[in-house]
Structures are given as structure tokens and as C-alpha cells.
Amino acid sequence: VPSTFRLTLEYDGAAFQGWQAQAGEVRTVQGVLEAAIARVSGERVRVQGSGRTDAGVHAEGQAASVCLATVRDLRVAPAGFDARRSARSKLYRYALWNGPVRSPLRAARAFCLPQRLDVEAMREAARALVGTHDFRSFQAAGSSVATTVRTLLRLEIRGAPGRALALDFEGTGFLRHMVRNLVGTLVEVGTGQRAAGQMPALLAARDRSRAGRTAPAHGLTLLRVRYEGDPEESGPQGADSDPLIAGGDSLDRSAS
Amino acid sequence: VPSTFRLTLEYDGAAFQGWQAQAGEVRTVQGVLEAAIARVSGERVRVQGSGRTDAGVHAEGQAASVCLATVRDLRVAPAGFDARRSARSKLYRYALWNGPVRSPLRAARAFCLPQRLDVEAMREAARALVGTHDFRSFQAAGSSVATTVRTLLRLEIRGAPGRALALDFEGTGFLRHMVRNLVGTLVEVGTGQRAAGQMPALLAARDRSRAGRTAPAHGLTLLRVRYEGDPEESGPQGADSDPLIAGGDSLDRSAS
């Protein structure tokens, strides 16, 4: 669903041949805005001004509207807001396709694993990973950070074996490749290569070589970042409860 | 004063070499955003992500922050908002520099008129223009609109003769070149070429050739556009009461 945005713009009229977009190399306010939006979003949209300003006329508070489907939200933040330092938690989803046949429609967004997974064993392993632990065993080799202790607030495995699966990781911070290394390890539990009960020992080892392989990047999606003052359920369109996101397939489809 | 913005972004990781900007031709999310902002605003700023995503990793709700001095405001609008059709009123300011010597610092933003203006006569003429009238005499020749009746809610002349002057026009809508033609006509009143009392007859004539010359574009600034639901005083930073805007000079400077 596209959102409508209202922009308030200031410009020096001397820099533009007026508001209205024109063919050719003429620099206009509307033309520059539309080109920039196309570059970022891939959407060719019309930016509607409150009216045209002629060549040379300035604006202190020109208003414009634009409908965009790809920009999820944009707002004025409190002074000092910093997307990295102000973050309280992040939610990542890793999508697996566990159907017996590779799915071309899902291959770009999910890690395809034809071997039927023991999801209950994976859930048992996941429970041991939740909490504050030293996750060094799951950090990319060669990384250097002050501490490898992180807090995993939630690790949920949704869906059913043999169909689409989603692994949701919510934490206050993540080490490099931590989610993908946890997924790779949990998949080895699901395939029976690794016992579900070995997670505490694996954490205690603090040794990357003891954990599983790094799952591929294309199955991973950053669903949302939460900040102080955000409403409790602040996912974009309730992303973390929407099974259609980051898998291209309803997790409930196995029931149909 | 720069504003801090919070963006929520969705992207397909396959289209980017990860989040972080890199030298050279590598396409990254941060790099594309920063280039687009530079193109629109002229500001070379850093877009801070909540963290990096690796090459191939997707985002449904990546968060980012950016400080911008040139973008005045940007917000999500109600569905159906249209900057042109939803507008309730617009406020334009025309800046005049009436000092006896041409001012290079003001020349780019103000119409420089060395001849001392009779501002009281201009104010008398302005009072006759406020209200709902047929403004055809002040419409650019050759324009074609359904009706040339417009409502001028306010026409204030601020400042003192011999220094900076600002003419504020607030109306529900304006004809093409209407503000500049009104300014040109009022200037002729200020220089004594035209009587202050002739405005009713000039309106009644509905004849462009009877009004004054079109004042140059570079003195004109669209200060703000007001929409239903906006607070009563919604100018950007109270633009319409800030004498420093659109003149490059305090209107009170004559007192110093």
C-alpha cells in the first residue's frame, strides 16, 4: 500500500528554471526531486507541488505531495537521534524453504533445504540460546569487538517442516554473521548432524570452528529496529507477525 | 538549524553490495541514499544506519538517521493528500531594497529600487486590493483560466522607506504573475507615478494593460502553504513574522 508524503521545501529560485518538470536538460525543482526519488526507490512518480513557481522565484515553504510504495516511513526525529546508537533492539528473520523440491519463486529470498528438518529439535536448541551469553562461537572469524557478549531476547521458529520456515531473532545487538551462524548451526540440528542439547557447551567453547556453517545472506532480512519511545508493537505493518514477509509464502500454506 | 530525520527503509539485498558506502562504483544502500540527498539538497551528509547489512541481506525495516539543514519538513500525510488540491492558502513575500545605493548582498533576493518610496500611499492602495475581486487586470497576458476571481486574505507592507521592505500576500489562490503585477503596480504608487486611490477602477477595468509592470521574479518567495488541519500559525519557523527571511536584512535595521 503506497504512503502519501508531504514535503516542505526551501529553494533558491536562481538555481532552477522554475518548479515544473520539462523535457531535456532543463533543471527544475520538480524534475530534480523526481529523478532523486527514482534513483533511490526505483519508482517513477509525479511529485505534486502546491503550485508552480516561475523561473527565478524562491521558496521558503513550498509544499509538495508524493505517493511512494517503497519508502516505509520518514519522520522528524528528536535532535540527537542516531540510528545506530539510539537503537534498543533489532529483529531479523531468516527464511528457509524446506519443501522437497527447490522453489524458483522462493529461491531469491529463502535458503532452500530439501532435507526434511526436525523442527522440534531446532526449537529445543533455540531455547538454550535465548538470553545473555558470550556468542563468540557464532561470530565471523577475524572480527574484533570489545565484547562478544550479546543478549538474544527471542528466537522463534515459525512454520512447519517440509514447507516454509522462518527463524526470528530479536536482540539488543548482534555480532558479525551471528544470525547466519546461528541459523547454520540450527539447521545442522534439524538435519540430525548435531544434537539439540549441545548448545550450552557450544556457547562455552567460545570457538567459531565448533559452530555450524554460515547460512547464505539471501535468506536474511532485517525486519525492524526498535527505539526508545516506539510503541511496543512497532514493526512496519506488524512485520513480525506477518507470515508473508521475508519468505514469499504464507507459513500457514502447509495447511491449505 | 538542521533537523534530524528518521527513515525506515525496505530493500532487496540482491540489488546492493551491502549497506556501507564504499569507494568506487560499488552500489551500496548508504551510497545511493547519500548521492540522492546530495543531488536534491546540495548537502554532503552521512546517512547513519542502525547497523550494516552485509551484501545480499535484505531489509524490511532498516532504520537510518540523517541531519539535513535544507529540508524543512517531511511527514506522512493522510491518504488522498494532494499538495495542490488540498491547499487552503498560500503566503508569498516580495522583497524590495529601497536603499539609495544598490546593495550587492541583497541584489539576488530583492528588487532594488533607489527612489525613495511613499510607503503610506502603497499601504492605502494595498487596502483596496484585499478581499475577493476579479484580478484579471493583474493576470499575465495570454493566460487562460476558468475564472479570474481570487481572494486576497492579506496584503501587508512591512519595513520602512529607504531600507528593506517586504510585501506579504496571503490568498486562497493566485493568477499567473499576479503577485509580481501587484508589486509592480504598488511600486508605481510608491514612486508617485500612479494614485493610491485608483485601485478599485483598476480592478474593475479587467485589463492587464492598465496595471503596472511585472516586478522581477528574484524578489519573490513562496513562504508557506497552509492545509486544512494545520495549526493557525504554521509557517516554517514562523516565517511570516521573521523579518530576516526573504530579504537578507532585518526590516528593523533602519532603527539601528
Mark yes or no for CB contact A225/B39 under 8 Å. no
Q: Given this model, what pLDDT does residue B143 score?
A: 84
Contact B55 A220 (CB under 8 A): no
Give the tens place of pLDDT for each residue, B195-221.
999 999 999 999 999 999 999 999 999
Average pLDDT, chain A: 86
Candidates A4, A217, A236; nearest CB to B55? A217
> Is A242 a residue whose pLDDT tops 70?
no
- What the block records as the C-alpha cell of A26 is 532543463
**Chain-chain contact of A6 with B218 (C-beta, under 8 angstroms):** no
Q: In percent, how much of chain A has pLDDT > 70?
A: 90
What pLDDT, on a 0 to 100 scale, did the predictor assign at position B23? 85
> Which chain A residues touch B223 with a CB distance below 8 Å?
60-61
**Of B1, B190, B198, the residue nearest B96 (C-alpha):** B190
Query: Which range among A20-24, A67-71, B161-165 shows the weakest confidence by mean pLDDT?
Result: A67-71
Residue B239 has pLDDT above 60, yes or no: no
Biggest alpha carbon distance in chain B?
72
A174 Cβ contact list (under 8 Å, min separation 6): A90, A92, A150, B51
Partner residue facing B49 (CB), from A49, A51, A84: A84
Give the count of Cβ contacts less than 8 A between chain A and B.
Answer: 242
> Residue range B52-62: average pLDDT?
88
Q: What is the pLDDT of residue A251?
A: 45
Q: Is the pLDDT of residue B246 over 70?
A: no
Q: Give residue A18's pLDDT band: very low, low, confident or very high (50, 70, 90).
A: very high
State residue B233's pLDDT score. Answer: 58
For residue B43, pLDDT beyond 60:
yes
Q: What is the 3-state secondary structure (H, E, C) of A121-165?
A: HHHHHHHHHCEEEECHHHCCCCCCCCCCEEEEEEEEEEECCCCEE
Q: What is the mean pLDDT of residues B88-107?
A: 90
Q: Are A49 and A32 in contact (CB under 8 A)?
A: no
Residue B63 has pLDDT above 80, yes or no: yes
Nearest by CB: B50 against A4, A49, A225: A225
- Given this model, what pLDDT does residue A70 score? 74
Residues of chain A contacting B4 with CB distance shorter than 8 Å? 76-81
Q: Would you state the pLDDT for residue A136? A: 97
Angstrom distances, CA of residue B48 to CA of A75, A174, A245, B6, B54: 15, 17, 25, 10, 15
Q: Return the HEC string of chain B.
A: CCEEEEEEEEECHHHCCCCCCCCCCCCCHHHHHHHHHHHHHCCCCCCEECCCCCCCCEEEEEEEEEEECCEEEEEEECCCCCCCCCEEEEEEEEEEECCCCCCCCCCCCCEECCCCCCHHHHHHHHHHHCEEEECHHHCCCCCCCCCCEEEEEEEEEEECCCCEEEEEEEECCCCCCHHHHHHHHHHHHHCCCCCHHHHHHHHHHCCHHHCCCCCCHHHEEEEEEEECCCCCCCCHHHHHHCCCCCCCCCCCHHHC
Closest partner residue to B58 (CB to CB) among A33, A50, A246 is: A246
Binned at pLDDT 50, 70 and 90, residue A233 comes out as: low
pLDDT tens per residue across span A134-176: 999 999 988 888 999 999 999 999 998 999 999 999 999 999 9
For residues B50-76, b (16+ Cβ closer than 10 Å) or e, as one string? bbbbbbbbbbbbbbbbbbbebbbbbee
Q: Which residue of A has its CA nearest to B177?
A: A54
Q: Which positions in chain A touch B64 (Cβ < 8 Å)?
A: 83
For residue B63, give every residue at least 6 positions away whose Cβ sits within 8 Å of its Cβ, in sequence order, or none. A83, A87, A224, A225, A227, B6, B7, B8, B9, B49, B50
Q: Which range among A134-143, B77-86, B114-123, B224-233 shows the weakest confidence by mean pLDDT? A: B224-233
Going through chain A in order, the beta strands assigned E by DSSP cover: 3-11, 48-49, 58-68, 71-77, 87-97, 111-112, 131-134, 149-159, 164-171, 220-227
pLDDT top residue among B116 and A101: B116
CA distance to partner chain A, nearest, from residue B249 (Å): 15
Confidence band of A248 (pLDDT split at 50, 70, 90): very low
Distance from CA of A28 to the nearest CA of B (A): 11
Q: List chain B residues with CB under 8 Å of A39.
A: 32, 35-36, 39
Q: Where does the pLDDT of residue A17 fall: very low under 50, low under 70, confident under 90, or very high at 90 and above?
A: very high
In sequence order, which residues have a C-beta less than 8 Å from that of residue B218 and are 6 or more positions away? Answer: A13, A14, A56, A57, A58, B108, B109, B110, B111
Q: Copy the grid coordinates of residue A41.
A: 526507490
- CA nearest to B62 within chain A: A224
Residues of chain A with Cβ-Cβ distance to B6 below 8 Å are 73-77, 81, 83, 227
How does strand B87-97 pair with strand B111-112?
A: parallel
pLDDT of residue B250: 41
Instruction: Cell numbers for B208, please give them.
Output: 492587464
The residues near B91 (Cβ < 8 Å, ≥ 6 apart) are A61, B168, B169, B170, B222, B223, B224, B225, B226, B235, B239, B240
Q: Is the dihedral of CA A208, A211, A215, A219 positive or negative?
A: negative
Does residue B187 have a pLDDT over 80?
A: yes
Interface touch B74/A7, C-beta < 8 Å: yes
Q: Is A240 a catalytic residue?
A: no
Q: How confident is the model at residue B253 (pLDDT cuts 50, 70, 90)?
A: very low
Pairwise CB contact (< 8 Å): A54 & B81 = no
State residue B238's pLDDT score. Answer: 38
Mean pLDDT of B78-89: 89
Handedness of CA A62, A68, A71, A75 (dihedral sign): positive
Mean pLDDT of all residues in A200-211: 97
Residue predicted with more confidence, B26 or A232: B26
Task: Tell me the shortest Cα–Cα distance from B9 to chain A, in angstroms.
Answer: 6
